[in-house]
Amino acid sequence: MQRHTMYFTGNVQGVGFRVTAKRCAERYDLTGCVSNLPNGQVMLVAEGHIWEIGYMLIDLMTELAGHITEIDMTIEPGIVPGCSSFEIVGLTEEERECLDSKR
């Protein structure tokens, strides 16, 4: 098991990045979180098997082609205890309702 922390640069805010990331992460049963940063980047933390994280990243890059210009990544062994799902950090109430209605 590994923990990958990724910082995405490009046109990554306001394009559905966090919702897409959550859907891709859940497809592979990954845990972690995704959030917008004040500098315009998106931070994504994914925990799981390396091949699952790799497939999630391929799916994310395919679905958001043209929006991502750079990815900075750090990899750590192991996972953080207590993380049992993949969450979007900083959702507005309107975004949360929209996400819930799509389930």
What is the rounded CA–CA span in Å between residue 99 and residue 34? 14
pLDDT of residue 7: 97
pLDDT digits (tens, 9 = 90+) for 24-72: 999 999 999 999 999 999 999 999 999 999 999 999 999 998 999 999 9
How many domains would you assign to the chain? Answer: 1
Q: Which domain holds residue 40?
A: 2-101
What is the rounded CA–CA span in Å between residue 46 and residue 4? 5
Q: What is the pTM of this model?
A: 0.85
Please state, as a whole number, how many other Cβ atoms lie within 10 Å of the Cβ of residue 86: 25
CATH number at residue 15: 3.30.70.100
Phi/psi-derived region of residue 48, left when phi > 0, alpha when psi is between -120 and 50, beta in every other case: left
Residue 11 annotated to the active site: no
Residue 39 annotated to the active site: no
Q: Which of 3, 18, 27, 39 is catalytic?
A: 18
Q: Which of 3, 36, 39, 103 is catalytic?
A: 36
